[in-house]
Chains A and B, each alone.
Chain A
Amino acid sequence: MAATTPADTKLVAQRFPTTPRASRARHILGYWRHPIAQALLKAFLTVFVTTTITFFLIRLMPGNPIDIKIDELTKDGAMSYDEARAQAASLFSIDLDKPVFEQYLSFVGNLAHGNIGYSFISQGTPVMAIVLAVLPWTLFSVGTGLLLSFSIGVFLGLFAAYNRNTKIDHILSLGGSIISAVPNYFIALLIVIVLGVELRWVPITQMRGATSPGMQPGFTLAFVGDVLFHAALPISVFFLATLGHWILGMKSATINALEEDYVNAARARGLSDGRIMTAYVGRNAVLPLVTQLAITAGLAIGGSILIEQYFVYQGVGLRLQAAVTQRDYPVMQGILLMVTLSVVIANLAADLLYSKLDPRIGRAGGATGT
């Protein structure tokens, strides 16, 4: 320690803080800088901000649902304004005389207890029950379609990059472009009008719904088969609509990775082509695509509002469409909250998967703790 320069003492002072309180603060700060903690914080912020914005949007817009309900109740003169106001307020379980900000606080308080209110139209039904009845179907169809298209698309993209400028590459690239240009809801609509109505190859009326009527849920072969039969069309649409994106993305990522120095180094070391393709090129090329999975899931869920309508598949999209036409604002808000939550969780999973696939991230996270 005799030969320390002023810069060194500064460094030492930072590493070993003198008071225990400072040490604890630094410890906590260290955790906050960890990528996983940051991802969690970001996820929480996203859900919080979206919920807050929709809350105020709904209440500050002209013609808010409370006024609409009051209008509706007083229109035929059956009820006085005050009665109607009281009933509308009870339906929304909020006090109308409170300032919007206090209403917001009580809303957040309810939210913290897992209570996201009651449906406006189906009176007395908790929004949570409505959302939980439809969300699994959408997550199942979007998730299955997306995982299928990701694994097949990544493989095809890698294949196209390794066979660059051959006929198969041109077919895959052009096909990928064409299919990614078609809006996902039009794929669904084309299946209905071409395969269903015009050619009658697909029994679209039998495939409606999430399950056949009278089907008992359980882990039986009949039930699983029935679920897959009804989900087949939405899954195919989500699969086709995202396939082109993965093919094109993986192809260009692979082409970039093939020119990296470490690939040349691996070749020079005499590693087999198969090992270079999987461990060096493929692994590095697929990394940026993993982070896009969650964004793509968000896009697919957005498209599901029309896709589920065309197939009459009882998921989030179909329910949201009903809530929008009935102006059932609590259900709209609840669905938006749960969908955001699902996408945020998918994002988190992608972040974790990313740090698992890319050891540099984990190491960097450990290093920032100091």
Chain B
Amino acid sequence: MTAAALPRRGDRTLPRPLESAIEFLRLLSKRPSGLIGFIGILFFLTLAFVAPLFVPNQESGDVTQLYETPSLQHLLGTDNAGRDVLNQIVQGGKEIMSVALITAFLTTLVATVLGSISALIGGRFDAALVAIADILLTVPPLIVLIVISALARPTNFLALALVLSLLGWAGLMRQVRAQVLTLKERDYVEAARSLDLGLIHIVFREILPNMRSYIVIHFVLAMTGAIYAQVALIILGLVPFSGKNWALMLYFAQTQGAFYFKDAFWFVFSPILAIILLQLSLVLFVNALEDIFNPRLRSS
């Protein structure tokens, strides 16, 4: 690209992204809970995608060590087949995180595109989309997901992410629409319209850049929603996954009756704790983001 050599109006100097990243970290460091959330997210990303490269996947367990309580050899004990629980926790984050990231990406993309187009086109198209979104928001999401999964049987994590995205876009779409409705009255959008720059240009160059903070917040929120729903579906046995996965550990624990077995406590508790801590990191981070982006709520 020659664009770097020819600076245009609105183009930024090169260190600007780095600068804003430093500014962001500075604002974040003033909010201890947000910083904890941010570190937590980094930790779980490392645990899910980097740690499995260094820790060997333990396939078979030791049948003489069933439901061992935590010890130096097995820091989180063993499961019903004598496999190390900590090893499963290390291996089992990748799928959960992948589904959460893909679903969040798809829902945010669909919601943002539909929401902005709906607001800009208006008329019947807008009314129809809002009606569909309203209907999706009224129906209990998990119940519909259960019915769809029972019928569609998503067998890989991409299919599961698609099923989850099908229902997740409505809330954000309505909010993006409301935002765009106010943004489109602004002068710069009017200017772009009078220059006849086209819908695509207006959406992607004029409106969306002004909603960045909003989109980031909802991306993280969509991740929490995706984690909530996929864990429930896997625990219910509706997603025929195999391999290592925190939610799958709970499904096996349930089929083995391990919930009511006192020695199996760490086997059941470890994946729950991992999922809760992941959700908590995301929520704390998103709270800090809202705080940073919304000066009205910012603590004085």
Contact = CB atoms under 8 A, between A and B. Distances in A.
B276 A181 contact: yes
Interface of B is mostly: helix
B295 to A, nearest CB: 12
Contacts of A347: 138
Interface residues of A, number: 56
Interface of A is mostly: helix
B141 A299 contact: yes
A248 B279 CA distance: 17
Contact of A46 (B138, B145, B146, B300): B138
A305 B236 contact: yes
A282 interface: no
Contacts of B262: 197-198
B279 A181 contact: yes
A180 B283 contact: yes
A130 interface: no
A237 interface: no
B33 A177 contact: yes
Nearest to A244: B283
B139 A50 contact: yes
Contacts of B232: 183, 185, 303, 305-306
Nearest to B261: A197
Interface stretch (B16-24, B147-155, B202-210): B147-155
A294 B139 CA distance: 10
B76 to A, nearest CB: 14
Contacts of A256: 296
A259 B259 contact: no
A144 interface: no
B231 interface: yes
Contacts of A340: 138-140
Interface in B251-276: 259-262, 265, 268-269, 272, 275-276
B97 interface: no
B75 to A, nearest CB: 19
Contacts of B287: 177, 248
Interface string A84-111: 0000000000000000000000000000
A192 B262 CA distance: 11
A305 B140 CA distance: 11
Contact of B142 (A174, A190, A303): A303
Contact of B134 (A46, A189, A298, A335): A46
A333 B145 CA distance: 13
A206 B284 CA distance: 37
Contacts of A190: 272
B139 A46 contact: yes
A324 B140 contact: no
Interface string A184-217: 0110011011100110000000000000000000
Nearest to B286: A177
B176 interface: no
30 contacts: A42-B134, A45-B131, A45-B135, A46-B134, A50-B139, A57-B147, A57-B148, A57-B151, A165-B300, A177-B284, A181-B224, A181-B282, A181-B284, A182-B280, A183-B276, A189-B250, A189-B259, A194-B269, A197-B259, A197-B260, A197-B262, A295-B137, A299-B142, A302-B141, A302-B142, A320-B143, A324-B238, A332-B147, A339-B143, A340-B138
Given A295-B137, A306-B232, A320-B146, 7 more contacts: A42-B134, A185-B232, A192-B259, A197-B261, A198-B262, A305-B236, A310-B259
